[in-house]
Structure formats: C-alpha cells, structure tokens
Amino acid sequence: MKTLVLTAAACALMAGAASAETIRLGTEGAYPPYNYIDDNGQVAGFERMLGDELCKRAELECEWVTNDWDSIIPNLLSGNYDAIIAGMSITPERAEKVDFSVNYTPPSYSSYAAMSEDADLTGGIVAAQSSTIQSQYVVDTGATLLEFPSFEDSLAAMLSGEADAVFADKDTLVPVVEEDPTVMWAGEDIALSVGIGMAFRKSDPDLRAKFDAGIEAMKADGTLNAMIKEYLGEDSPGF
C-alpha cells in the first residue's frame, strides 16, 4: 500500500514537471528600466514583466538568469540559457551569430547626458557601454570613446569627470537625468536602434516562433504599449 501511494505521488510529480517546458531567460540585470536587480535580489523591470507575460502566453516555465553583458551572446550559444532578453537592439552584426525575434520596442533614441549642455560631443571624451550600438556610434562621430563593461560604469565615468558625456539608450538615461539635478541632456537625440528584440540560438527556430507569436499578440491587443508606457516612460515611443 505504501509503495502504491509513493508511486502514485511520484507519477503525479513527474507529470507536473513534464507538463510545462522550462526555458531559461538570460538578462544583464544592470540596465534599468529594462532590466535590473531589485531590493530583493530578483530580476525586475520592463523585460521581467514582458518575459513573464510572454512565457505565460506560450505556456512555458521561465527561469531568469543574469549574465555579464560582454559574454551574454557566447553563453547563449553554449547553452547556458535559451534566450536573451536584455535590451539588445537588433543589428546586422549580432544577427550573424543569433536570430532575433520581432522587435518588442519600436525604433528608439539614444541620447547624450552630461554635466553641462554644451559638452563637446564630437571632439571630447564620451563614455559608453562596450559592444553596444552606442559605442559603435561614438567611434563614428570622431569623439574619443571610453568603453565600460556596464552602463553604471559609463555613467560613473561621466559623473566623475573622466568623460565629458555618457551616451546610452534614452530610456535608460531618462530616470538619471530626471532624478539627478546635476545631469542634463546634451546635443540631439539620435535614432540609432531599429528596435529591441529577444535573441535565440540559430538552431532554435521553434522557440523563437513561440515568442514571436506572443510579441505579435501583445502588440495587437495593446498590452505591450501599456507596458512600455508604464516602465519606459510616457514619452517612450509605442507601437
């Protein structure tokens, strides 16, 4: 009798485990408001909400994993997680290594923030996070690029005077500029990103299709727009 109960319990457990596929989502956890670590040490932010919602719609069990920005693509390829959802703009260079989902944010702006409005943006020193579309752009403007492994480090370089300005996604700089009275916008907003997408292994088109379908559905029923407004700010462009 005892064995019977135990076997039944084990079967029930296994059935429970098998019913939902577990997907590991890799993020940086250092790029608010897209993704950051909250006071409880959990991943939070726009992409946490979006990812959880997409997983719910696709009936997938999702685990969040944080990984350094610089090694985020190699670790996807070697299978440490199954998808990247980390404020990653879709670019042709990245698309050579990974496959992107449809974009879940519309084309958006990148901006300069500095301690004064007339910071020298083309001849001075500009800080940016390494391996980003922004760091690429700074090189093209002729400014001296100071690269850092995280957004936080590039911002700190500007605040300490090491760099004249910091260049990053506008949505990321908005909270900084609005909350810190010494930091202000410098120069024009620049349309750099063609949109942010999730990244998948090229050998994993089925998973990508599931998330694509979820993103399209969220675009269609307006939940994605509401989420963008809530987390990325009222002024952030929607679909």
Q: Which of 25, 32, 103, 193 binds another protein (CB under 8 A)?
A: 32
Q: Which residues, other chains included, contact 212 with Cβ-Cβ below 8 Å and sequence gap of 6+?
A: 101, 102
Q: Nearest distance from residue 230's CB to another protein, in Å?
A: 12
Among 6, 11, 17, 191, binds another protein (CB under 8 A): 17
219 binds another protein (CB under 8 A): no
| Beta strand extents in 21-86 (DSSP E only) | 21-27, 30-31, 35-37, 43-44, 60-66, 83-84
Residue 55 lies near another protein (rule: CB under 8 A): no
Per-residue x/- marks for another protein, 69-98, CB under 8 A?
Answer: ------x-xxxx-x--------------x-
Q: Which of 8, 190, 46 is nearest to 110 (CA)?
A: 190
* Cα–Cα distance measured from residue 15 to residue 130, given in angstroms and rounded to the nearest whole number: 45
Contact range with another protein by CB under 8 A, out of 25-33, 51-59, 118-126, 218-226: 25-33
Q: DSSP E strands: which ranges in 155-235?
A: 165-169, 184-193, 199-200
Nearer to another protein, 156 or 217 (CB): 156
Number of C-beta neighbours around residue 58 at 10 A: 19
> CA 29, 30, 32: angle at the middle one, nearest 5?
100
* Identified binder of another protein from the candidate list 27, 67, 105, 154, rule CB under 8 A: 67
Out of 9, 11, 14, 61, the only residue in the binding site for another protein (CB under 8 A) is 61
Can you say whether the dihedral through the CA atoms of 222, 225, 229, 235 is positive or negative? Answer: negative
State the sign of the Cα–Cα–Cα–Cα dihedral 184, 190, 192, 197.
positive
Single-letter amino acid code for the residue at 215: I
Least distance from C-beta 176 to another protein, angstroms? 7
Nearest distance from residue 167's CB to another protein, in Å? 17
Scanning 51-59, 62-70, 119-127, 213-221 for contacts with another protein by CB under 8 A, the matching segment is 62-70
Q: Which residues bind another protein (CB under 8 A)?
A: 17, 21-24, 29-30, 32-33, 36-42, 44-45, 61, 63, 65-68, 75, 77-80, 82, 97, 152, 155-156, 159, 175-176, 179, 201-204
